[in-house]
Chain A
Amino acid sequence: MIALLLRDIRLAVRAGGGFGLALAFFLIVTTLVPFGVGPQNATLALIAPGILWLGALLACLLSLDRIFATDFEDGSLDLLATAPIPLEGVVAIKALAHWLTTGLPLTLVAPFLGVLLNLPGPGYYWITLTLAFGTPALSMIGAFGAALTVGLKRGGLLMSILVLPLYVPTLIFGAETVRRGTEGLATGTPLALLGGITLGAVALLPFAAAAALRVNLR
């Protein structure tokens, strides 16, 4: 299992692995938004939490197909399915590797990109906290979507359409927590729901994704 985690991280950070792609996309979105909506500080501060969450979500979506598609193409997935580790474990580890190379870096750079959007003071704390809570769900739900579409050539479009509605609750509660946090309101409820979605996804989706993979490998 640890060997698989290390291999996936190594593949992601080596040439062509797509490690920088999500970060670059996140940077581009947050840099371009002020040009699009204009430089009014008040407007930017109002939309900053939503833009940061949206940027992180789309950046995550961009890198989903590397979870299973490359392994499917070069035959590794067949071999992993016949290996002595359970397929549910393979899915969970690959989702974890995706989070470590996408969700975690996005979480860490979000406060710096918040400066570009004039994020209000308390927002830096809340955006980091909610992204840390929410991005594991994005990786896990994404792994499920990638498992569903793994056998399809150029399945990226279908996967995006399948995954986006599943991302909506995470986006709503994530952005809502940040908005409430910056306005000094109570954040307990949306934060608990955000964490609940993440825990539910991590607990259930490895089984669903493994079942989808088994069907697609037949």
Chain B
Amino acid sequence: MSLTVTDLSCARGGVPVLEGVSFTLEPGQALELRGPNGSGKTTLLRTLAGLQSALDGGIEAPDGAIAYAGHADGLKATLSVAENLRFWAAIYGGGAIDAALAAFDLRGLEERPAGNLSAGQKRRLGLARLLVTGRAIWMLDEPVVSLDTASVALFAAALKTHLAGGGSAVIATHVDLDIGAGTLDVSAFRAAPAQGGAFDEAFL
């Protein structure tokens, strides 16, 4: 379940943002994406997750190995914590949600509507979704935003368990998670400004 990226270029809104990104991620490894705001971390993650197509270059990953977690948690405010999590578990063909609830300290909140959770609790529920997907390669976009210190530690522990079990992760973050991850500074791959006006995005 290794992820190989070769000479990848990606664009946001029709404008090339990154070019020449290459790395290999083996099972058990994590990669932290660093770079200032607007440097293309989210664009890279969305491209890797398959939400947008790459301009150029290749992404080699086994089918159905990647789980994506973006800025938004994908929670339904009128469904309870357990209903939200059970839904994603069913979508990914998994079953039990108990381990995921325990890993992110959500026990006791199962019957609470997700809309009544605090920002940090919502984020923890969003991250618990990753555990029920059962997928090996996690694409995480700013996973620890709005988490307190204890919750960051919970997340780091869950991530370590995931890595120890042969999983891997690409994480865009500004917080040092202390999980022994390699770092990749995306600002080194900034794309040259586009030449000419070949902008057909709106018509595709």
Contacts and interface: CB of A to CB of B under 8 A. Distances in A.
Interface residues of A, number: 25
Given A3-B90, A84-B92, A218 B76 contact: no
A108 interface: no
Interface string B61-81: 000101111111111111100
Nearest to A218: B52
Nearest to B202: A215
Which one of A75, A76, A83, A218 has the highest number of Cβ atoms from chain B below 10 Å of its Cβ? A218
A82 B51 contact: yes
Contacts of A185: none
Interface stretch (A6-14, A26-34, A116-124): A6-14
A161 interface: no
Contacts of A83: 91-92
Given A78-B72, A79-B68, A218-B52, A14 B78 contact: yes
Contacts of B108: none
B93 interface: yes
A196 to B, nearest CB: 30
A75 B64 contact: no
B76 A82 contact: no
A85 B49 CA distance: 15
Contacts of A7: 76, 79, 83, 87
- Chief secondary structure at chain B's binding surface: loop
A75 B92 contact: no
- Chief secondary structure at chain A's binding surface: helix
A217 B91 contact: no
A215 B52 CA distance: 8
A79 B53 CA distance: 16
B204 interface: yes
Interface in B86-133: 86-88, 90-93, 129
Contacts of B87: 3-4, 7
Which one of B50, B52, B78 has the highest number of Cβ atoms from chain A below 10 Å of its Cβ? B78
Which one of B74, B83, B92, B204 has the highest number of Cβ atoms from chain A below 10 Å of its Cβ? B74
Nearest to B51: A217
A85 B93 CA distance: 10
Contacts of B201: 218
A81 interface: yes
A16 B91 contact: no
Interface in A71-125: 73-76, 78-85
Interface string B159-184: 00000000000000000000000000
Nearest to A80: B91
A126 B124 CA distance: 53
A11 B114 CA distance: 13
A78 B79 contact: no
Nearest to A217: B51
Given A16-B78, A17-B78, A83-B91, A218 B53 contact: yes
Nearest to B114: A74
A15 interface: yes
25 contacts: A2-B90, A3-B86, A7-B76, A11-B79, A14-B79, A16-B78, A17-B78, A74-B76, A75-B74, A76-B76, A78-B46, A79-B68, A79-B70, A79-B74, A79-B129, A82-B66, A82-B67, A84-B64, A84-B91, A84-B92, A84-B93, A85-B91, A215-B204, A217-B52, A218-B201
Interface of B: 46, 49-53, 64, 66-79, 83, 86-88, 90-93, 129, 201, 204
Given A7-B79, A80-B91, 7 more contacts: A7-B76, A17-B78, A74-B72, A78-B46, A79-B88, A79-B129, A82-B67
